[in-house]
Structure 1
Amino acid sequence: MSSRSFVCVIDPLISLNPKKDSSIAMMESAQSRGWKVGVIEDGGLHWSTGSGVRAHVVWIAIDRASKPWYAEVGREEVALKDLDAVIMRKDPPFDAEFVTATWLLEQAEREGARVFNSPRAIRDHNEKFTIAQFEQFVVPTLVSRNAVQLRSFLDQHPDAIAKPLDGMGGTSIFRLKKGDQNIGVILETLTDYGRKTAMIQRYIPEIVDGDKRVLLINGEPVPYCLARLPKEGEHRGNLAAGGTGRAQPLSESDWHIARTLGPELKKRGLLLVGLDIIGQNLTEVNVTSPTCFREIMDQTGFPVADTFVQAVDHALQESR
């Protein structure tokens, strides 16, 4: 190819919001560098004997001032090993098809493709449960599908948050208080009557000051986070749940958590990570498609997308 290619494995383009979407921000940055930008939508990846992992790529030109925000400039089937950078940006749910996509991308890596984040690392780091590896930053937490254990946790911590291990955007997150008559049905719903594992954590009252998204790029913290503030009457700060985003400098404890986790997660093949921090407590480690680029860029001027694309460029140069 005449110029470098930057191709995202992504949800349907029509579903993306150009005012907020981080994937669009990074593709726009790559385009500004003269890179050829493309996308691989659902079902676009495939493997066959003799040909390896290939994909149907839609090449696009981005202009956020236009409607739609992109123009299709070509389509072709290519081997992933012939692309410069493949960026996994498909949102959860982390279902069988998501796992299959990581298998295909990992096979493409064996054939010479450069994929960010590492497909194996994405698969190995559940965004809720990875906090268990950094327990020094975590409030009392239980991961179980046993209703007796979950109720016992609530006896010890009578104000708690319960959530599924595979959710995103604040879906199915419940605040439980001891004595609530709905506890039984909530636990039945979360665990599917004991068939699915869930997480329960002591409630962190600092959520009123925001659920902070701290971005790590190539192991280094972005100096601003996005504090996602719950709307009135809500316990969830997620933007998808109606929260409001306020960009702010990292606190001393944010820096400490980010600098502790950053080098280790980088070694594991995670070029881009979104840490969720409430108060001084780590609550999630997001590795599938971390967001909040646009909000931080718009409110602070810090070039998050450019920093990410520079990190991809640096990784490609190192891999030569």
Structure 2
Amino acid sequence: MTLVVAFQMDKDVVVGKDVSVKFIQEAQIRGHTVFFFTPSQLAIKGTVPIANACLVTVESGALKFGGVQELFLENVNIIFIRQNPPFDMRYITSTYILEKLKNPLIVNNPKFLRDCTEKLLPLLFHDFIPSTLITEDYSMLQDFYREHEDIVLKPLYSYGGNDVMRVKDGIDIKVIVALMVEKYGCPIVAQKFIKNINDDKRILLLDGKPIGVFKRKILSAGEIRTNLRVGSVPEPAELSDRDRNICLAIEHKLTEKGLIFAGIDVLDGYLIEINVTSPCGILEVNRLYNMCLEKKCWDCFEEKFYAKCNS
């Protein structure tokens, strides 16, 4: 059966570096019709969610876009929400609009994208997280700093390692806190610094179960961020017993909330983030293990869609 598929995503994606493009390619291989629109092209007309969308294909290593047309999103079979944070009011508004849809399967469920933000969701699994404080109150952050002496500060709703900072040796955090709150307008995540920073894994989860894992190795001296976008490199890895226990602990929550595709960050056995907005890692797993994870993912997406149709 040919499906109608739509991707809500950023326009500045790079073919060969973006998971969304892999999903588009695989949809194309399966004969599905694929549309593209950005969050700014989403609308609700009266009570009807629509988008100014265009057909998209992958040709000769590039995305090719057709003309813009009004797309009634209730007529789409599967919708992917794949734009990157920031998790701001524009992002939140798009989830409210998409949440009104009844017919499409949406990857991931917009209500729970909104409710289950990536740095807050791990707090539900307190047995697996490092000592954590989330606030913008300077006095509480200062007390946490005094207690642990070596901590990491990061904005709650940013991504990709932006403005992640380690503070230790009695460095005054007052200016850091003030600047971060002013820049992002949200609370700060403070966590006890984990020394074994080269034991950092990205684990990909499909319908709550692990389908791929790799380690992110830091190359730059003095760097603490393991994000690939700041220069870390992927290396093969295996799931430890602790990793498997984390996956088992969060599986039900992910499947219950319709968070079909996710990526978790595990640092030295501690659950740091549960990425559900636009998880990456498929390209790295494919290269490291000679796999085509996008095929496995699409098998799951189609199965979920047909099950929804028959429910």
Please tell me the TM-score bracket, short chain as reference. over 0.9
2:129 is the alignment partner of 1:138: yes
Contact 1:60 1:74 in 2 (8 A): no
Contact 2:155 2:184 in 1 (8 A): no
Contact 1:159 1:178 in 2 (8 A): yes
Match of 1:9 in 2: 8
**Does the C-alpha gap of structure 1 residues 119 and 299 become closer, same or farther in structure 2, counting only changes over 3 Å?**
same
Match of 1:258 in 2: 247
Report how far residue 251 of structure 1 moved: 2.1
**1:119-158 to 2 correspondence within 5 Å?**
119-158=110-149
SS in 2 for 1:132: helix
Report how far residue 230 of structure 1 moved: 2.1
**Does the C-alpha gap of structure 1 residues 74 and 192 become closer, same or farther in structure 2, counting only changes over 3 Å?**
closer
Match of 1:42 in 2: 39
2:48 is the alignment partner of 1:58: no
Report how far residue 45 of structure 1 moved: 1.2
Report how far residue 114 of structure 1 moved: 2.4
Per-residue displacement from partner, 1:121-178 (whole Å, max 9, x unpaired)?
1000111111110111011111111111111111111111111101100001010104
Per-residue displacement from partner, 1:44-84 (whole Å, max 9, x unpaired)?
2111126x111122112213x43xx1222454212111111
RMSD over aligned CA atoms reads: 1.8
What amino acid sits opposite 1:71 in the alignment?
K
Match of 2:177 in 1: 187
What amino acid sits opposite 1:36 in the alignment?
T
Match of 2:196 in 1: 206
Q: What is the aligned counterpart of 2:104 among 113, 136, 139?
A: 113
Report how far residue 195 of structure 1 moved: 6.3
Report how far residue 256 of structure 1 moved: 1.5
What are the ranges of 5 or more consecutive residues in structure 2 without an aligned counterpart? none
What amino acid sits opposite 2:85 in the alignment?
P
Q: Matched residues in 2 for 1:237 and 1:76: separation?
A: 41
Report how far residue 194 of structure 1 moved: 11
Contact 2:15 2:63 in 1 (8 A): no
Q: Structure 1 stretch 258-267 or stretch 80-89: which is displaced more?
A: 258-267
**Does the C-alpha gap of structure 1 residues 193 and 228 become closer, same or farther in structure 2, counting only changes over 3 Å?**
closer
**Does the C-alpha gap of structure 1 residues 18 and 247 become closer, same or farther in structure 2, counting only changes over 3 Å?**
farther
Structure 2-normalised TM-score? 0.94
Match of 1:90 in 2: 83
Q: What is the aligned counterpart of 1:26 among 19, 23, 28?
A: 23
What are the ranges of 5 or more consecutive residues in structure 1 without an aligned counterpart? none
Report how far residue 191 of structure 1 moved: 2.6
Identity %: 27
2:225 is the alignment partner of 1:225: no
What amino acid sits opposite 1:199 in the alignment?
V
